[in-house]
Amino acid sequence: MAQRFLDPAVLASISSLELIARTVVDGFVAGMHRSPDFGFSQEFAEYKAYNAGDDLRHVDWNVYARTERLYLKRFLGETNSMLTVLLDASNSMQFGSHRVNKMDYARYLVASLFYLAIHGQRDAAGLITFDDEIRNYIRPSTRQGQLHRLLAALEQAEPRSRTDFARPMRYFQEFLKRRGMVLIVSDFWESPESIVRNIEPLRYHGNEVVLFHVLDPEDVRPVMKGPAILVDMETDAQLEVTPDYGKTEYREKIDAHLADLRDKTQAAGMGYYLLMTDRPLDTALREYLTLRGMRK
Amino acid sequence: MGLFAPWFLAGLAGLALPLYLHLLKRQTTKPKPVSSLMFFESRTQSSTRHRRLRYFLLLALRLLVLLLLILAFANPFVNRNAAAIASNRLVLLVVDNSFSMRAGTRLADAKIAAMGVLSGKGAARAQVGAFGSQLHLMTQPVEDQSALRAAVQAIEPGDGHGNFGELARAVRAMAESVHTPIELHLFSDMQRGDMAASFSDLTLPANVTLVAHAAVSKAQPNWTVESVDAPGQVWGKDLKPIHVQAVIAGYGTPAAQRTVSLVVNGKVTATKAVTVPANGRTTVEFPALEVPYGFNRCEVKIDSADGFAADDLHRFAVERSDPQKALFIHNYGDTRSPLYVGTALAAAAQSAFIVESINASEAADRQLSNYAFAVLSDVNTVPSLLENSLNVYVKAGGSLFIAAGTSAGARSTIPVFGGRIIETRDYSRVPDR
């Protein structure tokens, strides 16, 4: 049942991004047979001796009654993390061979992650949208209304121009000075070497970097009924291609590219996950939670 | 080869349309957007060649369909060689199996002759039929000699009367569906009686060639009882003698004396010797046929001693019974009506009724069931008792003839029948003065 609700084609019929995020997260969590009140603040971590200035609300008065010493009761949930999502909003993200294009899929994915981080785990979350330069930046925060700001930014992120990691990546490092998680959502139409070279510096501040590689099924297995003129959505370049090529050489090349990208990113200590837009969103959410758990 | 409607060939100009469409379509390939051309490589040469090949096949099919359509409208025809058509002729073997073919070895001779024709025709397409009162085809048109020979052997003698007119009609019908020449071989004893009523009935189509094979070389003498004239019914103990007249005929016969016998219920009651002229006929009369009451099987036979024993005998039946009574009811004083009706009934050869005339007032007490039928002859008034009796009589199956004459004007309904009289008109032979 949960899988049905996570189907991107079903989600596309929901107009509100927040509702989509809630549907995805609640459905996903229910699918894991876990409590919807997912939170680490309920889990006891340690006792800490009281120091002047500490919040008296966290004093364990039972311990004080027995020992006449002040101890603070600390919980795991209080060690918040910071989530920053870098969303590729270039033209190629508009491509879609079915109802949900890559940009829509990325929106659902990022919205769900934000919802899970802010509502579920009280994490600070921020967003950077970029193409060949930075288009929008929402500073990571846990303030009231942060989720709405992030979702509004997602709604406004219209694909345009082309992807260029080199130029905006210089500025990313200025924004990412606090340690946290960095999720990069893109279709990564660049060489693996270039991608790793441009993204790797993000790890220098101790960030966990994960690449969510969003691709349409036809990006991997193009469907061609006859010889056709193909137009690049970012560069408008045209090329005449035969179906035979699309069935043989192209598939070999794209498979090699995906394998190379995965190997190189993992070798560089980054996470890499390939997400096809006709698949449910579980993979991305499960990966996020796994990473979140590791950071604890 | 030619064309019945060559002006439709102008439609060949329409072949330019698919050519134009194919050229135009090649220019209107819609570009397809993709995320990136990063891993695509140009295959212009091969793709173009591939497209041309595929389009060529489609174009060729379209052109072919159009060409066939135009040719169909132009209505082509083929001038076939007459010799080739002639070589495809159908050999139709018809063996007469009418009753006359039973004589001697006529049918066997006809079959042997048919076999001979089959052997001579070699591998020609042939069909076998038997011909009596109508044509029965024994095979389809085939070239299988064994099947054709088996069909000839399977022809059995029939009891029918040969009819050349019917044969010609069947062959005419066959020629409408078989357009190749037909070689009709007729094996028959060629009896004169088989001829059609009119000569035009024997007309054969132009593509039918008749080859006649006579199954007999000379006429077979045959004496026969051609006809018998005798009453079918006699009444009571008729004092008048009953005449039986028979005609004895000879076909292909010399003048000869024949013995003619009259047989009643298996017993020869009379015998006469007659002289039948050569190829002629003679009449024999038996003046007094004596038959008992009931149905009697009678026959006239001759001692012909010819090859056709079956026509030496002519059977007939005679019934003897008592005459029946008829009741004639008329107005009082009417004497003319009984006279007319009685005379008319007596004149009828095949009936015997004794008419009992009576006026309406006396008829009420008669037992009507004793009468074969009753006549109500323009009676002015019918007593209710008589009308009731007549109703019962009719309902029980009796026959009543009601004559409505001048007296009907005085009545509103027809008695017994009950129908209303709407209007009456009287006519007189005496003109008004």
Stretch 8-47 of chain B: residues touching chain A, C-beta under 8 Å = 29-44, 46-47
Contact at CB, B32 and A231, closer than 8 angstroms: yes
**Percent of chain B residues topping a pLDDT of 70:** 90
Q: Closest partner residue to A227 among B36, B41, B47, by Cβ?
A: B47
Whether A169 is covered by a domain: the verdict is yes
Q: Which one-letter DSSP state was computed for residue B29? A: P
Contact at CB, B41 and A235, closer than 8 angstroms: no
Please report the pLDDT score of residue A1 as a whole number: 37
Instruction: Please indicate, yes or no, whether residues A110 and A54 belong to a single structural domain of this protein.
Output: no
Nearest residue of B to residue A90 by CA position? B35
Instruction: Please indicate, yes or no, whether residues A54 and A103 belong to a single structural domain of this protein.
Output: no
Cβ-based contacts of A216 with chain B (< 8 Å): 35
Task: Look at residue A65 and give its three-state secondary structure.
Answer: helix
Contact at CB, A253 and B39, closer than 8 angstroms: yes
Please report the pLDDT score of residue A36 as a whole number: 35
Only one residue has tokens 């060639």, namely B209
Interface A-B: count of C-beta contacts within 8 A = 87
Q: Closest partner residue to B42 among A187, A235, A239, by Cβ?
A: A239
Query: In this model, does residue A38 exceed pLDDT 80?
Result: no
Instruction: Please indicate, yes or no, whether residues A129 and A69 belong to a single structural domain of this protein.
Output: no
Q: Closest partner residue to B31 among A216, A238, A246, by Cβ?
A: A238
> CA of A226, closest CA in chain B: separation in Å?
8
Whether A260 is covered by a domain: the verdict is yes
Contact at CB, A227 and B39, closer than 8 angstroms: no
Instruction: Please indicate, yes or no, whether residues A150 and A138 belong to a single structural domain of this protein.
Output: yes
Instruction: Please indicate, yes or no, whether residues A131 and A246 belong to a single structural domain of this protein.
Output: yes
> CA of B125, closest CA in chain A: separation in Å?
57
Contact at CB, B37 and A237, closer than 8 angstroms: yes
Total domains in chain A come to 2
> CA of A92, closest CA in chain B: separation in Å?
5
Phi then psi dihedrals of residue B347, to 5 deg: -75, -20
Whether A33 is covered by a domain: the verdict is no
Token pair belonging to A163 = 């992807």
Q: How confident is the model at residue A123 (pLDDT cuts 50, 70, 90)?
A: confident
Q: What is the pLDDT of residues B221-249, one digit of tens each?
A: 888 998 999 888 887 776 677 889 999 99
Question: Which of 3.30.720.210, 3.40.50.410, 2.60.40.10, 3.10.20.740 would CATH assign to domain B222-321?
Answer: 2.60.40.10
Is domain B324-410 classified as CATH 1.10.1740?
no
Instruction: Please indicate, yes or no, whether residues A233 and A172 belong to a single structural domain of this protein.
Output: yes
Q: Residue B20, Cβ neighbours under 10 Å: how many?
A: 10
User: Is A19 part of the contact surface with chain B (CB cutoff 8 Å)?
Assistant: no
Q: How confident is the model at residue A16 (pLDDT cuts 50, 70, 90)?
A: low
Contact at CB, B39 and A250, closer than 8 angstroms: yes
Q: How confident is the model at residue A11 (pLDDT cuts 50, 70, 90)?
A: low
Query: In this model, does residue A86 exceed pLDDT 80?
Result: yes
Nearest residue of A to residue B46 by CA position? A242
Is residue A227 a contact partner of residue A242, using CB atoms and an 8 Å limit? yes
Stretch 45-64 of chain B: residues touching chain A, C-beta under 8 Å = 46-48, 50-51, 54
What's the mean pLDDT when you consider all of chain B? 84
- Let me know the angle formed at the C-alpha of B239 by B322 and B233, rounded to the nearest 5 degrees: 45
Q: What is the pLDDT of residues B43-100, one digit of tens each?
A: 654 445 555 556 778 888 888 999 999 988 888 887 666 555 556 788 899 999 988 8
Task: Look at residue A227 and give its three-state secondary structure.
Answer: coil
Instruction: Please indicate, yes or no, whether residues A164 and A69 belong to a single structural domain of this protein.
Output: no
Pairing status of strand B233-235 against strand A208-215: unpaired
Contact at CB, A189 and B38, closer than 8 angstroms: yes
Token pair belonging to A130 = 């970029």
> CA of A253, closest CA in chain B: separation in Å?
6
Cβ-based contacts of A220 with chain B (< 8 Å): none
Is residue B10 a contact partner of residue A210, using CB atoms and an 8 Å limit? no
Contact at CB, A254 and B46, closer than 8 angstroms: no
Contact at CB, A95 and B34, closer than 8 angstroms: yes
Cβ-based contacts of A224 with chain B (< 8 Å): 32
Token pair belonging to B420 = 């209303």
Q: What range does the domain containing A222 cover? A: 80-295
Whether A7 is covered by a domain: the verdict is no
Q: What pTM value is reported for the model? A: 0.43
Average pLDDT over residues A94-119: 86
Q: How confident is the model at residue A141 (pLDDT cuts 50, 70, 90)?
A: confident
Whether A166 is covered by a domain: the verdict is yes
Please report the pLDDT score of residue B150 as a whole number: 92
Q: What is the pLDDT of residues A171-215, one digit of tens each?
A: 777 777 677 888 899 988 888 998 888 888 888 777 888 899 999
Please report the pLDDT score of residue B299 as a whole number: 93
Token pair belonging to A177 = 């000075």
> CA of B29, closest CA in chain A: separation in Å?
7
Token pair belonging to A39 = 């939170």
Whether A37 is covered by a domain: the verdict is no
Cβ-based contacts of A189 with chain B (< 8 Å): 35-36, 38
Nearest residue of B to residue A254 by CA position? B39
- Let me know the angle formed at the C-alpha of B12 by B6 and B14, rounded to the nearest 5 degrees: 135
Task: Look at residue B35 and give its three-state secondary structure.
Answer: coil
Instruction: Please indicate, yes or no, whether residues A59 and A155 belong to a single structural domain of this protein.
Output: no
**Percent of chain A residues topping a pLDDT of 70:** 78
Helices A282-295, A17-31: axis angle to 10 degrees equals 70
Whether A62 is covered by a domain: the verdict is yes
**Percent of chain B residues topping a pLDDT of 90:** 23
What's the mean pLDDT when you consider all of chain A? 78
- Classified by CATH at the fold level, domain B84-214 comes out as Rossmann fold (3.40.50)
Of B112 and A248, the structure prediction assigns the larger pLDDT to B112
Average pLDDT over residues A35-41: 38
Q: Closest partner residue to A232 among B37, B44, B47, by Cβ?
A: B37
Q: What is the pLDDT of residues B243-263, one digit of tens each?
A: 899 999 988 888 889 999 999
Instruction: Please indicate, yes or no, whether residues A148 and A230 belong to a single structural domain of this protein.
Output: yes
Q: What's the rounded Cα separation, in Å, for the pair A246 and A221?
A: 7
Instruction: Please indicate, yes or no, whether residues A104 and A194 belong to a single structural domain of this protein.
Output: yes
Of A142 and B141, the structure prediction assigns the larger pLDDT to B141
Token pair belonging to A230 = 């193909």
Token pair belonging to A127 = 């967003």
Exposure string of A244-255, with b = 16+ CB inside 10 Å and e = fewer, is ebbeebbeeebe
Residue B429 neighbours by CB under 8 Å, 6+ apart: none
Cβ-based contacts of B48 with chain A (< 8 Å): 227, 240
> CA of A148, closest CA in chain B: separation in Å?
30
Contact at CB, A227 and B48, closer than 8 angstroms: yes
Whether A12 is covered by a domain: the verdict is no
